[in-house]
Amino acid sequence: MTIIAMTGGTGFVGGHLLTQAVAAGHRVRALARRPQPARDGVEWIAGSLDEPHSLAALMEGAQGVIHVAGAVNAADRAGFARVNIDGTAAVLAAATGAGITRFVHVSSLSAREPQLSDYGWSKAQAEGVVTASGLDWSIVRPPAIYGPGDREMLEIFRMAARGVVLLPPAGRFSIIAAEDLARLLLVQLTAYDGCILEADDGTPDGWDYHAFARLLGTILGRRRVRTVAMPGMLLALGARIDGLVRGKGAKLTPDRVGYLRHPDWVVRDPMPDGPWRPLIATPAGLHDTARWYRAHGWL
């Protein structure tokens, strides 16, 4: 049995990771800013990334760290830096202080093109902090992540269910199921030393935006789905409108427009030989996700 210190356990990916970690027989100490319901195999540690005493408590007795927490939306570059760079440095410092050497870090495929967005820049900078830490590290750069409980891709499911899907300009992207990503994070505790990994569903050359939207429509029972590629200027306008309507809850932000306009978010570097490979075929995973959304009244 391993005791794992985890950040981001209250989020979408973290929730899947908690489930798999406990099922595998691990004990988890998970950081949480708000009170959480009791859960077998999980010890919730109250606090946040900017509280050294909370991070010290999180690390106590742990053999490895999986750092999932991060900001995907922020008001400006400083906001991203505060969470994604400074927060990562704080978790690394706490791990070092506790004598923990194994550190698994969740980055983003956007770190490959840091000039396109403040988010991608902050994730690339955080990677630099990890690789310079002197710890035994492993980093994964997930592409788009989907699965039961996800709110980031919920809107495209809803559009596909209505029969009209608004898309970024022409391009391709890779995708991974949250369950597959969670399995990889657990594997990284003992494998892929010193690697920056790009992991996906195994689909060669990824997915074309339009083909993916049509697949979603078929899964959701639509005979025909109309797909509309949004020019970059309209995306930028849409981000302003979304910000006015939903405020901090906006999904389309000006920063996000930068990388949505990029045509290539396909995983290019194959996973090195090792104990992990994707198990969830994307059509089957999308079916399961749609069923979950409907069962919970989200769709």
Backbone angles phi, psi at 81, to 5 degrees: -65, -40
Cα(282)–Cα(96) distance, integer angstroms: 38
Q: How far apart are CA 9 and CA 71, in angstroms?
A: 14
Distance from C-alpha of 61 to C-alpha of 40, rounded to nearest angstrom? 18
Q: Which two tokens stand for residue 298?
A: 């989200």
User: Taking Cα atoms as reference points, which of 65, 73, 71, 2 lies closest to residue 30?
Assistant: 65
| 123, 111 Cβ separation under 8 angstroms | yes
**Chain length of the chain:** 299
HSE of 281, CA atoms in CB hemisphere, 13 A:
3
Q: Which listed residue (119, 209, 259, 293) is catalytic? A: 119
Whole-angstrom Cα Rg for the chain: 19
Distance CA(196)–CA(134), nearest Å, equals: 15
Tell me if residue 119 is catalytic.
Answer: yes
Catalytically active residues, by annotation: 119
